[in-house]
A = this chain, B = another copy of it.
Amino acid sequence: MPRPVKNVLFIMVDQLRWDYLGCTGHPTLQTPNLDRLAGRGVLFDRTYVQSPICGPSRMSYYTGRYVSSHRSTWLMVPLPLSERTMGDYLRENGRNLSLIGKSHFLPDRKSIERLGGLSDPDRSEYAMEGGFESIARDDGIFGRGPIQTKYADYLRANGYDSPNPWHDFANSAEGPDGEILSGWHLRYAKEPARVADQHGETAYTTDRAIEFIEGKGDDPWALHLSYIKPHWPYVVSAPYNAMYGPADVIPANRASSELTSANPVYKAMADRQESREFMRDEVREAVVPVYMGLIKQLDDHLGRLFAVLEGQGRMDDTLIVFTSDHGDYLGDHWMGEKELFHEESVRVPMIIYDPRAQADATRGTTSTQLVESIDLIPTFLESLGFDGAPEALEGKSLIPLLHGKDVQWRETVFSELDYAFHADVRKDLDRSVDECRGYMAFDGRWKFIFWEGFPPMLFDHESDPNERVDLGQSNAHSAVCKRMEKVLFSWLRGLKNRTTVDNKFVEEWRDKEFQIGQW
């Protein structure tokens, strides 16, 4: 057994697709700091999230369970009170999990009310935060009305005076006559944000992390450092707003045939406003360079953070993960935003740095094993030398892969979508709110997407790695679809549902006392 690591740093960014880093192959975007981290760790190049949208994806990261298991199926759906989180698993082993930035966690207030409230204020706070010790939580996305957040206070303290400086400064630009050009409109993307880079969300979040890590000194810690960017609003401070231009934008991955012979669910999603916007070249040419600028900004600030880690000796004792909660279509497949299961949406970058000698042999390598977001909790627990919870956790520790072990690995990754909250799509498709489920099963070659009530989608990565040809209704591929349906059925049956007792209890139980006696 290798010695445990001392600390865990779990860095997540929001809405960063897998192919928008230097080390994952972007031809014009520069991310030297993350590339360097990948050079010292392993790049897990085929990492998939359990739902390609913030809330459910994050709840899978934070519970180690598929969406059908943790049941927070969409942004607005609180995590049921019974679900244990990453913070719980660490705390059971005596370690707090601190949070700086976004978690998207919604507490199950209805259950708490039904139960008459919690008695311990500390634990109540903890339950309301999903097991995180909130150092500086900031979920990032606000409207235009007044807000009270630590970051808003920080902006006001730095001279950005407004009831909502998040909107009016950090996420808006300024017109020639001083008017606010809201970042909610894509047309202003190219203009610089009204905050200096040093006061932007990414800088602020990084500053808090540096404070936290320096403050801990040699004490052990676990930190979820969770950036809101490059999530929209697509606005970035100078000089990042002008760092990339239309010439740096990779061509849209789309074919006109995708829209003409479309699956009904895909068609309804491609008909949403954000998709219609991103179909237009002028939108891509304005927005994508800014998306790239936001990533470059992130990389620069991560460079500051990594320097502190190095200076403090933390690169010797800290497991570092860098990943994202989902991608961003950016006009590919004629889509904006995320939620569907194309690579641009469901595949994320994942870099893991393990400081221990056992990981030396894999440094700088790329793993093509199929990885899921639910793998992180088992990875953290194993790296820290903590116990797991096989009755609930559905992922696999990545430590054996990091240590170059020859292990049997999974053959298929799964992802889910509940599109019930999209009234427009639901209406288009004539579905009730209980009938809006989709599932993806991807085995490295075949990506099979099952839609409740509609034909499936199917992509063959061997002949069509860009996923432009949907074979879901091709007679020649019905056998593949049938096989993948079986895989999905088997997966559904295997979801872990006996979570209120641990497996050891089950294994050791004997019913002698309460069994019918012998004759």
Contact = CB atoms under 8 A, between A and B. Distances in A.
Interface of A: 68, 71-74, 76-84, 88, 108, 110-111, 114-120, 122-124, 126-127, 141, 143, 182, 184-187, 232-233, 273-274, 277, 280, 282-283, 336-337, 390-391, 418, 420-423, 433-434, 437, 439, 452, 485, 488-489, 492-494, 496-501, 503, 505-507, 509-511, 513-519
27 contacts: A76-B501, A76-B506, A76-B509, A77-B501, A80-B80, A82-B108, A110-B500, A115-B124, A115-B127, A116-B118, A116-B119, A116-B120, A116-B126, A117-B118, A118-B118, A141-B514, A143-B514, A184-B517, A185-B517, A233-B516, A273-B518, A421-B506, A421-B511, A423-B507, A434-B503, A452-B493, A488-B489
A109 to B, nearest CB: 9
A123 B114 CA distance: 8
Given A72-B500, A143-B513, A433-B506, 13 more contacts: A71-B499, A71-B500, A76-B505, A76-B506, A76-B509, A80-B80, A80-B500, A114-B123, A115-B118, A185-B518, A186-B518, A233-B516, A433-B503
Contact of A115 (B81, B232, B337, B518): B81
A407 B76 CA distance: 35
B82 A81 contact: yes
Nearest to A84: B114
Contact of A420 (B81, B493, B498): B498
Contacts of A274: 515-516
Contacts of A111: 81-82, 500
Contact of A519 (B81, B126, B280, B499): B280
A82 B84 contact: no
Contacts of A489: 485, 488-489, 492
Oligomeric state, in copies: 2
Contacts of A516: 184, 186, 232-233, 273-274, 277, 336-337
Nearest to A516: B274
Given A117-B119, A187-B519, A274-B515, A77 B500 contact: yes
A494 B141 CA distance: 32
Contacts of A518: 185-186, 273, 277
B68 A497 contact: yes
Of A185, A283, A500, chain B has the most CB atoms within 10 Å of the CB of A500
Nearest to A490: B452
A184 to B, nearest CB: 4
Contacts of A182: 517
A74 B501 CA distance: 11
A509 B118 contact: no
A124 B116 contact: yes
A124 B110 CA distance: 15
B122 A116 contact: yes
Nearest to A450: B493
Contact of A500 (B108, B433, B497, B498): B108
A410 to B, nearest CB: 15
A127 to B, nearest CB: 5
Contacts of A423: 507, 509-510
A184 B515 CA distance: 8
B71 A497 contact: yes
